[in-house]
Structure 1
């Protein structure tokens, strides 16, 4: 059997068994644990009293109630902001193609990003054949005019001789008809030349309105026709927009003219826009509609890009609370109030817009209540507290 020695009170030596030594070690560890637990509990009590402003341990029971800071939020003007995402696009996109017969492109005169005026030539198509046709028609006009002058001269001579009886009235009528026919042929030839010139002019691909060229899909040497599709895309006046997708709830009360701050992806710059059109239909698959936000031109706004926006739907009078005052659990959002008899009450609320100064409360409060600003997690409904109004001693 193992033994160990210890000094007795009279400095004698006593032998202890191994089992007894183990029991004494366990008792020492237990006593140390109890002392540590008491110390932790005492420190927690001191922290609780210091946090809630309670009195010392020797204070009266009426002074030992925790002090909580409360606020009476009242009613404040709160902007109802809707956060949305969408795609940037030209407000009025103009596709430009071949309006005439087409042919081989001889020159392309513009590049994407370039500003053009109304009627400016964007590209030209070879017109060598049309030039010769126009020259031929111009010559035919000269021939018709010569015939018309000759017919008029013969008619004039006939009219001078009919009174003398050298020419009958029937001959005069025939010469008159010949003159009229010659004049008509002149007009036909002039009309043919005008038509040919108009067709030739349509070989110039022109900008329908002033604006900015977005895309170019044609190169010199390419053969194009009316079936070639879109050769250029333009933004009328350089005006841009954001096609923002909103839920049908947000879309229903969105007014035309509402202001918005639009931030394209890839930049920290925001641009001021306004709602200029609200979609009259809702997509049955997504339950969303489109709000179109007009934007001024800026190189950072690129059609086809992605952007976020904050639309100010309107301003309402609502209570505004700091974020520390609003709590939530499985039942939803709520706040703690200090009611009659300084008793803590739980009040469910509905939150609205989150601003830089706090959270708007859309329902549950009228603004006259005393709302606990912080430390609500340490309170329980029915607990008696000592309220201290924020900003006052």
Structure 2
């Protein structure tokens, strides 16, 4: 091969080598951005939120059943029988006590007898009216006689209706001689013993419902005006360590500068009727807003330099000193040079420094 052939071969090798190197450099260029992203520290963030500053107020109360009843008879008499014992559970409609009144049963018997007597008289009058109408059609009886019989039939029909009403009233009074449970409950107190005479309306026994618990507290009138139905509260037992959730069910009118407020406890609150508790109310104390961040975002919270790591718009870390305040539901109120909706790091702060660029996990 001559010198010209060797030159052409060398030129081809150079061109091929350049092309190969160019192809090898293309792949790293395309993945360079991804490598940089993967090299950054991964963090999780949450936004700063604004809230009105609150003050927690505590009020004493006693747990009670949501449904309660003190039962009494509508009529006077002697307590003949008591069918339940103190502490016994009863179902809705279950009989509880029986009264004896010697005047009620005879009154019912008299009313039933009067109704039966009028029924028989009405049956006879209806037959007489039908016979008179037939005879009147044949002109065998006077028109006046037919009118008299029809008037007597109508009068006795009205009398029968009144007798039926008296019988229904007497029957209801006899039925009222037995007390029945108005709802599923537990018998909490027995106020009258069998054989005792009771007057109409005198309390005989007390029931405490088994479904639902509530607490009644008394608050100043000015505070009662700021409470609304549905407002969440916290309830803590006085004699043990626990915390339960509740909501304001209603607020009454103030009497003697205090207003009654009913707190309805959540269904899973393990509190027994009669247990003393404290109700904690969160009340806004100013119109201005304060800042809150997740508790996990505050570093060195009990030290000399508490701070959070905030992120700029391009995900650069900025150290911001804070002054922690009240903690509520894992959020802490702070004083700091931050703004609502600004992002703060809540996980992954371990090796971060001021000015680091991070990768925010979804």
- Same fold by TM (over 0.5)? yes
Q: How far apart are 1:232 and its partner, in Å?
A: 3.5
Which residue of 222, 226, 232 maps to 2:205? 232
2:247 corresponding residue in structure 1? 275
Higher relative contact order (CA 8 A, sep 6+): 2
The number of equivalent residue pairs is 275
2:34 corresponding residue in structure 1? none
Q: How far apart are 1:238 and its partner, in Å?
A: 2.6
1:279-314 Cα distance to aligned partner (Å, 9 max, x none): 47678858x98461424377x623333124567889
Asked if 1:190 corresponds to 2:161, the answer is no
> Structure 1 residues 110, 276: CA separation in 2 closer, same or farther (over 3 Å shift)?
farther
> Structure 1 residues 182, 336: CA separation in 2 closer, same or farther (over 3 Å shift)?
closer
How far apart, CA to CA, are the structure 2 residues paired with 1:254 and 1:390?
44
Which residue of 307, 314, 317 maps to 2:292? 317
Which residue of 69, 76, 80 maps to 1:95? 69
Asked if 1:199 corresponds to 2:173, the answer is yes
Asked if 1:303 corresponds to 2:268, the answer is no
Q: How far apart are 1:126 and its partner, in Å?
A: 1.2
Is the 1:145–1:182 Cα contact (8 Å) retained in structure 2? no
Is the 1:87–1:307 Cα contact (8 Å) retained in structure 2? yes
SS of the aligned residue for 2:134 comes to: helix
Q: How far apart are 1:123 and its partner, in Å?
A: 1.8
2:123 corresponding residue in structure 1? 149
1:14 corresponding residue in structure 2? none
Indicate the RMSD between aligned Cα atoms, in angstroms: 4.5
Which residue of 238, 249, 253 maps to 1:265? 238
How far apart, CA to CA, are the structure 1 residues paired with 2:48 and 2:303?
17
How far apart, CA to CA, are the structure 2 residues paired with 1:203 and 1:239?
30
How far apart, CA to CA, are the structure 2 residues paired with 1:362 and 1:283?
39
Give the TM-score of the pair, scaled to structure 1: 0.54
SS of the aligned residue for 1:97 comes to: strand
1:222 corresponding residue in structure 2? 196
Q: How far apart are 1:128 and its partner, in Å?
A: 4.3
2:325 corresponding residue in structure 1? 352
SS of the aligned residue for 2:121 comes to: helix
How far apart, CA to CA, are the structure 2 residues paired with 1:213 and 1:159?
65
Is the 1:91–1:294 Cα contact (8 Å) retained in structure 2? no
Is the 2:251–2:260 Cα contact (8 Å) retained in structure 1? yes
How far apart, CA to CA, are the structure 1 residues paired with 2:198 and 2:50?
58
1:66-87 Cα distance to aligned partner (Å, 9 max, x none): xxxxxxxx98789979473421
1:243-288 Cα distance to aligned partner (Å, 9 max, x none): 456787799588835363x442344454x332133647678858x9
Give the TM-score of the pair, scaled to structure 2: 0.58
The unaligned stretches of length 5 or more in structure 1 are 1-73, 327-334, 338-346, 369-388
1:1-40 matches, cutoff 5 A: none
SS of the aligned residue for 2:72 comes to: coil
How far apart, CA to CA, are the structure 2 residues paired with 1:75 and 1:105?
69
Q: How far apart are 1:196 and its partner, in Å?
A: 0.4
